[in-house]
């Protein structure tokens, strides 16, 4: 079984590389954006012709939420056009596409965890382009899994956890937003769940294509998340909560983006760690 991973140098791509040796039954091919630029259809076709993957995990994405508000074209090229290219080439080679999406497809106005059936309503360019990418897949290729996730962190790449550790070692005090609620997702936990989907019996897999939510269990604010990061790493800092109104950003963030994981847990028999447990397991770097 051959699994092609796009965006190999990104956070999730690196997380997959950190565990792939645990799955000798799978031949992973990791391609960075320089090796596989998903915005170029001819490049996608050339790579697929050579590799002929059974699965493609698309971790390539434009994820600069605030920059997307001014870099609309770049965000569109990667998150929409690039995803459409992958869907088309996956269809040509009968490759099952596993695409990573985001909680930003929702407006954050809910008071309960979002399910896969809730209607998306993105508030910014990033969320809109990710939703448009989802729809390109749905319109072009049936054999897909779209995985919406949130607040991804790990020891790889750039993320909130690593930023907090860096700032905690540089500053005596820090202000962190406490009125945006969601769930941290450890990239390795997400990676293992993606592989579990791939290893799901093929005859059953054909019946369960579609959209799924995945994050760790529980929920917290960014302030709570930062507090736990500092606690685990024994970083002494004067951490203070701040409201979203007091910390304006170019892109509007969802106030509440907790994801309901019932569907993915039930269908694929996936046990999901509580966010604190996963943080304690992986945070120290």
Kindly report the three-state secondary structure assignment for every residue of the chain.
CEEEEECCCCHHHHHHHHHHHHCCCCEEEEECCCCCCCCCHHHHHHHHHHHCCCEEEECCCCCCCCHHHCCHHHHHHHHHHHHHHHHHHHHHCCCEEEEEEEHHHCCCCCCCCECCCCCCCCCCHHHHHHHHHHHHHHHHCCCEEEEEECCEECCCCCCHHHHHHHHHHHCCEEEEECCCEECCEEHHHHHHHHHHHHCCCHHHHCCCCEEEECCCECCEEHHHHHHHHHHHCCCCCEEEEECHHHCCCCCCCCCECCECCHHHHHHHCCCCCEHHHHHHHHCCC
Tokens at 130, concatenated: 């990710």
Q: Which of 55, 114, 126, 212 is catalytic?
A: 126
Of 186, 213, 216, 217, residue with least CA distance to 268: 213
SS3 of 8-65: CCCHHHHHHHHHHHHCCCCEEEEECCCCCCCCCHHHHHHHHHHHCCCEEEECCCCCCC
The answer to whether residue 247 is catalytic is: no
> How far is the C-alpha of 150 from the C-alpha of 184, rounded, in Å?
6
What residues are labeled active site?
126
């Amino acid at each position: 079984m051959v699994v092609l991973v796009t965006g190999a140098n990104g956070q999730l791509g690196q997380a997959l590389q950190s565990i792939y040796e645990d799955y000798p039954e799978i031949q992973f091919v990791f391609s960075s954006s320089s090796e596989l630029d998903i915005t170029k259809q001819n490049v996608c076709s050339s790579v697929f012709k050579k590799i002929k993957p059974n699965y493609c995990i698309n971790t390539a994405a434009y994820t600069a939420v605030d920059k997307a508000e001014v870099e609309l074209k770049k965000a569109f090229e990667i998150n929409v056009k690039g995803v459409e290219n992958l869907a088309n080439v996956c269809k040509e080679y009968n490759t099952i596409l596993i695409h990573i999406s985001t909680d930003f497809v929702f407006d954050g106005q809910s008071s309960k965890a979002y399910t896969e059936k809730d209607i998306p309503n993105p508030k910014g360019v990033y969320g809109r382009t990710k939703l448009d990418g989802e729809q390109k897949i749905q319109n072009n290729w049936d054999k897909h899994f779209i995985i919406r996730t949130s607040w991804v962190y790990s020891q790889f790449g750039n993320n909130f956890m690593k930023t907090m550790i860096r700032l905690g070692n540089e500053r005596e005090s820090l202000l962190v937003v406490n009125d945006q609620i969601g769930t941290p997702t450890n990239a390795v936990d997400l990676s293992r769940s993606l592989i579990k989907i791939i290893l799901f019996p093929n005859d059953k897999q054909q019946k369960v294509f579609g959209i799924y939510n995945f994050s760790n269990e529980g929920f917290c604010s960014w302030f709570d998340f930062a507090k736990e990061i500092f606690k685990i790493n024994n970083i002494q800092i004067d951490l203070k909560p701040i409201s979203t109104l007091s910390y304006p950003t170019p892109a509007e963030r969802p106030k509440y983006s907790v994801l309901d994981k019932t569907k993915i847990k039930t269908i694929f028999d996936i046990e999901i760690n509580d966010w604190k447990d996963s943080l304690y397991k992986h945070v120290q770097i």
